[in-house]
Amino acid sequence: MASNGIYVSTAPAAPPSVPSVPRTLTAAQPATAPPAGLFDATTSAVAGVASVCGLLAAVGAAARHGIGRRRQSSRVQLRGASRAPFKEPVNFRAKPGDKYTYRCPQDFNTPEFGHWPPEAPDRVVKYGQVHFKGNPTGETEFYAKKAGKKQMDKDRLTGNSNDSRGALLLDCDGTIVETERDGHRVAFNQAFKELGYDCEWEVGLYGELLTTGGGKERMTRYFTDYNPDAWPHEEPPAKDNPKIMELHELKTKLFMEIVRSGQLPLREGIEDLITDAFANGWKVGVCSTSNEQAVRAVVETLLPEFAPEIPIFAGDIVSKKKPDPEIYNLAAKEMGVAPMTCVVIEDASIGCSAAKAAGMQVIVTKSIYTEDEDFEGADEIVSSAAEIDFEEDVVAMLPTLQMS
């Protein structure tokens, strides 16, 4: 307030006014555009990558197609009009029993219906090319087996099955061939003579020694119980004695020479019996106490067509020999059959006892040295295998399922 009583405002003075600038609307400026050359390079790179990928995909598809065709092709090529009947799709190769159903058009080099050779009788091949594949063999047989299988399945369900398949096990010496008197005995005597032993086994004496299974065991018994003076060595005779083993090795070599010379024929009816067994789907094996090489020589020489399919259990493959059942137990295990489904053909009482102890059925075919033996427990006794009917005598021995 001034002195003269007049109030005067003391508020601060306003700042000087600034002239206003008129507002103007401005449009958003666009981003700076890249150079035209950079855009063209990027587009070309993308297109190049796409074309390369497409090319790789096409090459891969062509390669896969070519591999597939090579896998389906055969070394023998069809030509001319013969290609027309084989336009059906290629099926997988099935087992021989189903070959007729799933037959592969390019399957030129494998057997039809499990039979070799694969060619049909009227097949025509010239210069490595199939002009006519021929008619597949075995169609009638295939349908017959197929019908038989249906009947077998039906019989199993109803308990009326007559289709029994087992194993036929044969002894060798005296059963397959009469080797004892004119084979093994002769070889033993030749071995004694060549190695300087003063002894010879007569026909009657060898018959007594046959009650002991195994050649080394037989010689041990002879030099111990029958003729100790003929043993010139200090160490007592035993089956693992080096001198006994030397004798047996030479005897085996001489015996194999006798067998391969053709001097020992098959016993009557043996070949027919084995043929019937294989024809009915049975397994066949040989169980012997003789040396394995000697038994194999007999089978390969006298039964050459069956030799590859017949397993041999012989010699020292077991620790205990007949009449112990170990050899027959081993055969049943290795062949995958139950002892109760095995039928044994034997000629000696020790073999009969071994087979019965293993729980098997036994048919005895008497031989020269075993005519008067006691075959206790044998299921059937005949003079030779020619008297055996496979269906009535062998198959009939197997146990069958009976429905109550």
Annotated active-site positions, please? 171, 173
CB 115 within 8 A of CB 139: no
Distance between CA atoms of 360 and 350, rounded to whole angstroms? 14
Identify the sign of the CA torsion 126, 127, 130, 135: positive
- Residue 376's CB is within 10 A of a number of other CB atoms, namely 9
What is the strand order of the sheet 167-170 is part of? Answer: 312-313, 283-287, 167-170, 342-346, 361-365, 380-382
- In 281-387, which ranges are E strands? 283-287, 312-313, 342-346, 361-365, 380-382
Residue 188, H or E segment? helix 185-194
CB 377 within 8 A of CB 362: yes
Query: Both ends of the chain: CA-CA distance in Å?
Result: 142
Distance between CA atoms of 136 and 121, rounded to whole angstroms? 9
Residue position matching structure tokens 């073999």: 351
Name residue 132's beta-bridge partners: 124
Distance between CA atoms of 376 and 382, rounded to whole angstroms? 14
- Which residue type occupies 378? A
- Residue 71's CB is within 10 A of a number of other CB atoms, namely 9
| Helices 326-335 and 349-357, packing angle to 10 deg | 50
CB 224 within 8 A of CB 237: yes
Question: Does 265 sit behind a cis peptide bond, omega within 30 degrees of 0 on the bond before it?
Answer: no
Residue 254, H or E segment? helix 242-260
| Helices 242-260 and 292-302, packing angle to 10 deg | 0
Pairing of strands 129-132, 167-170: unpaired
Long-range CB contacts for residues 201-206, cutoff 8 Å, separation at least 24: 206/180, 206/181, 206/369
Tokens representing 262 are: 């053709």
